[in-house]
C-alpha cells in the first residue's frame, strides 16, 4: 500500500450552502507525507488549514475547520470523497471560506477526483487502527467502535417524520461502494427550519437544487428521492467525512445511532486523545499490527455506561 495523490490539478465553482456566495475550488496534487491540506485565499493572503480533530471549531449543520487566522466550512462531503478514494495527499484551495455544496451530495467531488486521476507515490501509506472498544454516548445518541480490518459502519437514524422514521444501513467502505451507494445521497432539511436558519445567517445558499427538503408530509423536491433510504445514506457519508479530519485513514467497525457532526467530532476527539491505548498508527511493513481484528459475524460489544 503506497500513498496516493491526484494526477493533475482540476477546478470547479459553486455556491456555499450557508454563505450563499460563489466559491472557486481547485484540487492539486501534493507531495508525499503532506496529507490533506486546505488553502484559503482571502484579502489577507493564503492561509493553510490542516484538518485535525482539534481544528474543528463548529459543527452547526456542517463541519468547520479553523487555524486561528482563517476558517473553512462544509468540508465533510469533500473529505469523505478524498478518504473514500484512498487519496493520502492533496491540496484543496478555495477563494472563499466554504466548500461549495454542489448538488448537496459527494457525487461531484468523486467525479472531479476521478477526472483528475490518481497516481501512486513511493512511500507507504499509514492508517489508524482501532485496537480496543471505545464509545461515546450523549442524550441517547452514541458512536461505538471496535477493531476491524477495514472501515465498516452500522448506522441507525430515527426521525419523527412519516417519510424518514427509523432507517438502518450497514456499509463497508471501498471506492466503488462509496461511489455507487453513498456519493449521490444528498443533505436534507425541513421547511419549518428554513426561516430560523436564515435568520442566523445559515442556509443562505440552500435550495431544492442542493438539498432534499421536507414539509410535514414528505419531500417537496420535484424529482423526489435518489434512494428510498437516502437519509441514512447521507448520514453515513457525513460520518466518513467527519472521521477524515484524522491524519490518516481510520480502520475499525463503527456502530452509530442518531449521531450528527457534533457527536461525530466529540467521538473522534476522544479516539485521538486515547492514541496508544485504543488507537494505533500502523505503517504496513514496519512490523506494526492492531492487537485484534474481529470477524464480520462477531457482535459489537453491548453499550457501557454513558461517557460524559
Strand partners, 170: 154
d(CA 17, CA 101): 5
Q: How many CA atoms lie within 13 A of 48 on its CB side?
A: 7
Catalytic residue among 18, 161, 261, 295: 261
Angle formed by the axes of helices 261-273 and 230-243, nearest 10° = 30
Evaluate whether 127 touches 293 at the Cβ level (below 8 Å). Answer: no
Judge whether 261 counts as a catalytic residue. Answer: yes
Evaluate whether 118 touches 4 at the Cβ level (below 8 Å). Answer: yes
The DSSP 8-state label assigned to residue 303 in this structure reads P
d(CA 143, CA 263): 8
Residue 159: closest CA among 184, 183, 190, 135: 190
Evaluate whether 166 touches 232 at the Cβ level (below 8 Å). Answer: no
Task: Give the 3-state secondary structure percentages of the chain, helix then strand then coil, rounded to 5.
Answer: 20, 35, 45
Q: Is 34 helix (H, G, I), strand (E, B) or coil?
A: coil
Strand partners, 26: 11, 93
Residue 113: closest CA among 239, 258, 9, 268: 9
Q: Is 243 helix (H, G, I), strand (E, B) or coil?
A: helix
Q: Annotated catalytic sites, by residue? A: 261
Amino acid at each position: 500500500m503506497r500513498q496516493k495523490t491526484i494526477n493533475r490539478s482540476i477546478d470547479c465553482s459553486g455556491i456555499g450552502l450557508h454563505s450563499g456566495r460563489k466559491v472557486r475550488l481547485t484540487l492539486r496534487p501534493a507531495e508525499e507525507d503532506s496529507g490533506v491540506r486546505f488553502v484559503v485565499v482571502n484579502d489577507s493572503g493564503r492561509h493553510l488549514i490542516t484538518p485535525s480533530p482539534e481544528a474543528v471549531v463548529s459543527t452547526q449543520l456542517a463541519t468547520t475547520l479553523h487555524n486561528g487566522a482563517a476558517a473553512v466550512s462544509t468540508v465533510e462531503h469533500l473529505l469523505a470523497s478524498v478518504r473514500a478514494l484512498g487519496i493520502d495527499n492533496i491540496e484543496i484551495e478555495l477563494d472563499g471560506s466554504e466548500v461549495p455544496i454542489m448538488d448537496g451530495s459527494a457525487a461531484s467531488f468523486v467525479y472531479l477526483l476521478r477526472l483528475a486521476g490518481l497516481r501512486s507515490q513511493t512511500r507507504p501509506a499509514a492508517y489508524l487502527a482501532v485496537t480496543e472498544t471505545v464509545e461515546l454516548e450523549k442524550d441517547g445518541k452514541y458512536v461505538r467502535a471496535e477493531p476491524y480490518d477495514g472501515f465498516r459502519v452500522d448506522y441507525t437514524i430515527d426521525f419523527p417524520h412519516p417519510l424518514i422514521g427509523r432507517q438502518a444501513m450497514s456499509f463497508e467502505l471501498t471506492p466503488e461502494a462509496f461511489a455507487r451507494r453513498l456519493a449521490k445521497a444528498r443533505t436534507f432539511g425541513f421547511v419549518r427550519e428554513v426561516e430560523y436558519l436564515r435568520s442566523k445567517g445559515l442556509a443562505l445558499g440552500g435550495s431544492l437544487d442542493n438539498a432534499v427538503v421536507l414539509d410535514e408530509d414528505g419531500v417537496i423536491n420535484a424529482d423526489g428521492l435518489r434512494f428510498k433510504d437516502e437519509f441514512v445514506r447521507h448520514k453515513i457519508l457525513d460520518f466518513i467525512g467527519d472521521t477524515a479530519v484524522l491524519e490518516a485513514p481510520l480502520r475499525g467497525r463503527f456502530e452509530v445511532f442518531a449521531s450528527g457532526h457534533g457527536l461525530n467530532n466529540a467521538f473522534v476527539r476522544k479516539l485521538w486523545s486515547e492514541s496508544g491505548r485504543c488507537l494505533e498508527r500502523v505503517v504496513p511493513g514496519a512490523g506494526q499490527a492492531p492487537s485484534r481484528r474481529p470477524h464480520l459475524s462477531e457482535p459489537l460489544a453491548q453499550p457501557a455506561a454513558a461517557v460524559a
